Amino acid sequence: MGLGPIAWIDIETTGLDPKEDIILEVGVIITDATPQFHEISTRSWVIHVDAEVLREANPWAQVQHRASGLFGEATLSHYTIQDVERAALAYLAEHDAFDSPMAGSSPHFDRSFLVEDMPALHKAFHYRNFDVSTLKTMLAIQGYPVPAKRDVHRVLEDLRDSVGLAKYFASILGASIRSLCV
């Protein structure tokens, strides 16, 4: 794991169980590895899922993804899960982002689905995670104000929230470290 580009990943699914539920949407944002996390590029893909399969999704996913339009997009998409895995791998290669830590909010969740459904994409990431939800919890315990996350549940919006939190946390941690060095 070097300090090359950071690959932020998010998925939307039909539920919480990687053995039973399926991936609907995959998004990746590539940033630089500076405390400003400058956005270099973004991509997202919606995976085709038949309407009858979506009717079996858990109730929360039914409400959330119908409201966001994701279920409708999934029935119209022409991408298979294999297409998306190949495209995401090509995207990481294009940006020299192989072996990046898996960055995001609770990326262990995304990783659990990738292990099941997109193993080659999972293997393209370093085993380490860069989890902004852990930083959020730590700073909240310390009494810092923590921005609320929007309740969008679409990959690029959620990823931009995660990158924004990382920038915020970097500014707090940077100021704290600088004050110790004075």
Known catalytic residues are 127
C-alpha 120/C-alpha 130 separation (Å) is 20
Q: Which of 148, 155, 130 is nearest to 33 (CA)?
A: 130
Q: Which residues contact 41 (CB under 8 A, 6 or more apart)?
A: 29, 30, 91, 95
Residues paired with 39 in a beta bridge:
31
Instruction: Kindly list the distances between the CA atom of residue 135 and the CA atoms of 49, 167, 168, 181, in Å, as whole numbers in the listed order.
Output: 34, 11, 10, 22
H helix or E strand, kind and range, residue 12: strand 6-13
